[in-house]
Amino acid sequence: MVTGATSGIGEACARRFALGGYNVIVTGRREEKLHALQAELEQVGAEVLALTFDVRDREACHKAVDSLSGQWAEVDVLVNNAGLALGLDKEYEGSFDDWDTMVDTNIKGLLNMTRMIVPGMVARNRGHIINIGSVAGDAAYANGNVYCATKAAVKALSDGLRIDVAESAVRVTNLKPGLVETNFSVTRFHGDQSKADNVYKGIKPLTGDDIADVAFYAASAPEHVQIAEVLILATHQASGSVIVRK
């Protein structure tokens, strides 16, 4: 199951796991894009279930998870990908609405899906949760305040969950990408494409496919191997705030 599968890293993960032999549940808010992805993945031989809902809506999450039956009822891998950044304001000038959206999506949405899917994994004594965190969760960068805080929460929640399931064979991975060129920056700048393009100017950024490859590697590791955390950066990026542009 991949949340936020309508674009970017989530879409790439759905495609990579489908090509790797998995049947895939794709979720997101944009029904048309989900069904287009479903049709594409079915052409490569994967069985695909598309569920349209917003991870911020706990009732909708419950309804979606409760609808799973047959082969879909047992989720082997949960990719908690749904997330976003909004704005680059100073913390004391930030938008309350942007804050609510980031906290509700990046933290509460991840918790909603974890709470509803992981009990089944523990009961079956198998499963893997892959959380898409960020280099921003390691240290704050200028004007990243609330977004960085949400990704620091993803790290803490990943670490805490790994402790909670340690008696079982369930594995937990936190992936921490740096600069990835998706619609992430377009969303952050509320649709301003020119501002988004400047984020990646002068450096070859990562792609969603790069992150999906790491996610698939973690899921494909032998059962006794738990890839707990991976920091993935572009070659000329040293940290969340150190980027060499040419």
> Cα–Cα–Cα angle for 187, 193, 195, nearest 5°?
90
**In the numeric block, which tokens belong to residue 29?**
């808010």
Q: Tell me if residue 147 is catalytic.
A: yes
* Candidate list 92, 147, 200, 217, residue with the active-site label: 147
48 and 18 Cβ atoms separated by less than 8 Å: yes
d(CA 18, CA 212): 11
* Of the candidates 3, 11, 54, the residue with the CA atom closest to the CA atom of residue 180: 11
What are the start-end ranges of the E strands in the chain? 24-28, 48-52, 77-80, 128-132, 171-177, 229-232
Q: Write out the two tokens for 94.
A: 């930030």
Catalytic residues: 147
